Amino acid sequence: MASFSEGLPAFLLVFLVTLSSSFAGNLNQEFDLTWGGNRGKVFNGGELLSLSLDKTSGSGFQSKKEYMFGRIDMQLKLVAGDSAGTVTTYYLSSQGPNHDEIDFEFLGNVTGEPYIVHTNVYAQGKGNREQQFYLWFDPTKNFHTYSIQWNPYQIVFLVDNTPIRQFKNAESLGVSYPKSQPMRIYSSLWNADDWATRGGLVKTDWSKAPFTAYYRNFNVQTCSGSCTSGFSNGVWQNQELDAYGRRRLRWAQKNFMIYNYCTDYKRFPQGFPPECRV
């Protein structure tokens, strides 16, 4: 007897595979609290998760599963009030000395000052590809969605579905690109007052502790099995941003980017890294 899939067009099969691999995850089922004791908590049967930091310790969690390409969404509400010295991270990473990593880091600040969103990409253990942004809203008042789209062609960082950074595959220029190591999702809240706020000039005010960040509405779209074909069927699978995405990217970078390693002449007096030309 013929199976249901026999005779279906190839593009439809790819669509069905991708669709079957898109789901909203229960935080209790998808993540393990890995350090910090009871400073990490899960509420409402897995609908909400919190991490806290006090003078003794921070806290963190990691995904039970590894992912190889996909779009990862998480809604965060960051530490409110005086968050100077604190760092809330949300990132993908493999293991080992030659690890790959795709980073969101949220650098706290004194009350009324904007958070800095720090992004970085590691491939084969090499990072140093930092871009930093202010946000166009207060990330401590409400939940906002922070997303990573990752495929063999590009990595896109998004905030509320607005692209803020695009890192393209530049292997043709001799630049390593993260495409061979599955990665887990990690998050942590920790004290980094030696560098996080104004280069370490502003220290953590422990009288304001505990500091707490909240997570909800985790969603992942990824491949079930091989991702070697069909990379033009889902938005996260595209080789390029569409015209609207490119406009939004230019808007975010023009108005909110505060650091770009690709324009740091003091750091690269002999010329910028080759991926900066892509």
Domains of the chain: 24-277 (2.60.120.200)
Single pTM value for the model: 0.88
Spans in the chain with pLDDT lower than 70: 1-24, 224-234
Phi, psi of 74 (to 5 degrees): -145, 135
pLDDT at residue 5, as a whole number? 34
Q: What is the pLDDT of residue 51?
A: 98
Residue 111: the pLDDT is 84
* Known catalytic residue at 101: yes
Catalytically annotated residue among 6, 30, 66, 105: 105
Q: What is the pLDDT of residue 233?
A: 55
Provide the pLDDT for residue 210.
Answer: 97
pLDDT attached to residue 145: 98
Residues 6+ apart with CB under 8 A from 11: 230, 233
Strand-pair partners of 62: 32, 186
Q: Which of 6, 30, 47, 101 is catalytic?
A: 101
What is the structure's pLDDT at 226?
53
